Amino acid sequence: MKVNKADIVISAVSPAQYPRTGLPEVALAGRSNVGKSSFINTLINRKGLARTSSKPGKTQTLNYYIIEDKFYFVDVPGYGYAKVSKTERAKWGEMLETYFTQREPLRVTLCVIDFRHPATVDDKQMYQFLKHFGIPIIVVATKADKIPRSKWNKHTKISKESLGFDPEDDFVLFSSETGEGKDEAWGLIEGYLAK
Ligand code: GTP
Ligand code: MG
């Protein structure tokens, strides 16, 4: 998709604020600091639209970005961020559970993992949670630029094994730095939007 038009619509703290246009949604789930907001920026060719940070925990709300008046990217707060209180964590869990289990316009969730390391326990839990609810998933293994190509096969194998990857899902190697995997990711996303 060639994107000329992209805007933030709302940083939602509660479901009452989610858009009611009925437009399809593409959500991003993943560990804090893994590169979810950067993924959005790369796909829409806009460096700073989704706020990124080298400090984990930047995205704390469900941030809705409307793309070409066609669909929303929903940037979901990352998990695995240690400096979050128990109460906050519980609230976060509740918000995500409600979103993922009840959100009718949700077409597909991108599970973003760090290609450099095996998937974490949290990654696996999120992936299996989404699978349990029958939500379509595209696994995006990002920061591929940090791994030499000669090791991509080995790392792909490690990523998939540690995640408990289901071969029926899609797996995209990605880098926000080089644009690796951008066209492939768009192709898959557009496939889900057309369904
Ligand atoms: P939270 O909002 O905290 O959940 O984080 P996030 O998943 O949105 O991560 P974000 O996009 O803010 O990126 C975190 C850091 O990783 C930033 O310093 C990015 O520049 C960096 N980063 C993201 N993607 C890539 C990538 O593909 N390659 C490299 N080398 N760095 C990346
Ligand atoms: Mg973010």
User: How do the domains of the chain map onto residue ranges?
Assistant: 6-194
Whether pLDDT at 48 is above 90: no
Q: Specify the CATH superfamily of domain 6-194.
A: P-loop containing nucleotide triphosphate hydrolases (3.40.50.300)
Separation between Cα atoms, residue 128 and residue 119, nearest integer Å: 12
- What number of other Cβ atoms are within 10 A of residue 45's Cβ? 13
**Which ipTM value was assigned to this complex?**
0.99
- Distance, CA 160 to ligand 2 centroid (Å)? 23
What are the C-alpha distances in Å from 53 to residues 30, 32, 107, 108, 112? 15, 10, 27, 25, 16
> What is the model's pLDDT at position 93?
81
> What is the model's pLDDT at position 58?
59
| Whether residue 31 has its Cβ less than 6 Å from ligand 1 | no
**Residue 66 — pLDDT band, cuts 50, 70, 90?**
very high
Mean pLDDT on 14-38: 93
The 3-state DSSP class for residue 148 equals coil
- The pTM of the full predicted model, rounded to 2 decimals, is 0.94
Ligand nearest the Cα of residue 41 is: 1
Mean pLDDT on 42-54: 83
Higher pLDDT, 79 or 68: 68
Q: What angle do CA 78, 19, 122 make, to 5 degrees?
A: 15
Separation between Cα atoms, residue 155 and residue 101, nearest integer Å: 31
Ligand nearest the Cα of residue 63 is: 2
**Residue 9 — pLDDT band, cuts 50, 70, 90?**
very high
User: In this structure, what token pair is assigned to residue 186?
Assistant: 């768009």
Average pLDDT, the chain: 91
Ramachandran region, residue 163 (left: φ > 0; alpha: ψ -120 to 50; beta: rest): alpha
User: In this structure, what token pair is assigned to residue 185?
Assistant: 């990711």
Digit-coded pLDDT (tens) for 130-153: 999 999 999 999 999 999 999 999
Place of tokens 């639209």: 49
Nearest alpha-carbon partner for 10 in 53, 49, 66, 58: 66
> What is the model's pLDDT at position 15?
87
Whether pLDDT at 59 is above 70: no
> What is the model's pLDDT at position 55?
67
> What is the model's pLDDT at position 42?
96
Q: Which residues contact 64 (CB under 8 A, 6 or more apart)?
A: 8, 9, 10, 11, 12, 18, 19, 25, 72, 73, 74, 75
| Whether residue 160 has its Cβ less than 6 Å from ligand 1 | no
- 37 near 56, Cβ under 8 Å? no
Dmax (CA) of the chain:
48
Higher pLDDT, 85 or 106: 106
Whether pLDDT at 174 is above 70: yes
- Distance, CA 161 to ligand 2 centroid (Å)? 26
The type of residue at 86 is K
> What is the model's pLDDT at position 92?
79
Atom 31 in ligand 1: residue holding the nearest Cα = 143
Whether pLDDT at 85 is above 80: no
